Copies of this chain bind each other. A is one copy, B any other.
């Protein structure tokens, strides 16, 4: 089936995920000669590269062009107009974690421009934004796909959508949604006992690149809360925001005001005893940082829970995520998806796979 009309792709954000995505996109364009994918816009927060007439940008040289560009990015509302004028359907791939870009999705979608993104902000921000995004998509037929907003390339959102859309009743979702928290607790409280001091484990995780520059951005639980917000909304719970349900922070109150991540790490050992007690209280079980959604009671929670050594959550390794879907059809044994839930390559994979699905639907 030859497809005549080119598809215009705009990419904003060229950090770790963006780099990997561009490389996957270049490979994709080579492997799949049609539809004609045409990169027509690329931007980071300061610069952009594009042609006024939407002429194609060589995928292999796009990053180089961007590096040399002195052109400012097109403001988001003007970018909507620019892409809407392209002589073919357009898709914006948002590889940023920007709230501003997220806020503009309804405008893109209203203009018939599909959105593909790993950016959690749009789907875990206000419930009004969520409604505006999916309302605009429904009205115009433009698609919005965001697999990598939860668990990176793992098939979490697609699986949940399949369960819901085919009429299964999801009763509970439970899992380890943060690669950082997974790594920390698999080291701190391994099955069979042992593990180092909490503050040492946090330092080690930071050294190995598993935490944000300031580890408090992981330990506050907000990243997990954002992911839970997205999944809860997909099962129909109108969660207002990621701060509208109980989220346990692992930052000692006294250290919330530290002016830097380094100061926080320096003072953390004084609080090791608290975590040591939590580990001891597990009493033969292991302690893990999990998120859960109980659909019937509409209860969404993020925090420490204990699990038997034989539970799949206890058996997790490295920085893997694990997500269990309990449903009416699957009964007592949940549908489980497990694997790396962070990293440039696997996050970009979710984005590229979404792009392929959008193309299959809008290409003509």
Contact of A334 among B310, B339, B343 (CB under 8 A): B339
Contact of A333 among B312, B332, B340, B352 (CB under 8 A): B340
| Identical copies in the complex | 2
Q: Is A104 an interface residue (CB 8 A)?
A: no
Q: Kindly state the separation between the CA atoms of A31 and B165 in the bound complex, as whole angstroms.
A: 9
When A1-B138, A138-B1, A166-B28 are in contact, do A349 and B361 touch as well, CB less than 8 Å? no
- Contact present for B310 and A356 (CB under 8 Å): no
- Contact present for A1 and B340 (CB under 8 Å): no
Chain A contact residues: helix, strand, loop or mixed: mixed
- Contact present for B140 and A1 (CB under 8 Å): yes
- Shortest beta-carbon distance from A24 to chain B in Å: 5
Q: How many residues of A contact B (CB 8 A)?
A: 50
- Contact present for B331 and A340 (CB under 8 Å): yes
Question: 13 A-B pairs, CB-CB below 8 angstroms?
Answer: A1-B138, A28-B167, A153-B329, A155-B159, A162-B349, A162-B353, A162-B356, A166-B352, A166-B353, A329-B349, A333-B340, A338-B338, A360-B361
Residues of A within 8 A of B (CB): 1, 24, 27-28, 31, 138-141, 153-155, 158-159, 162-163, 165-168, 191, 310, 312, 315, 317-318, 320, 329-340, 343, 345-346, 348-349, 352-353, 356, 360-361, 364
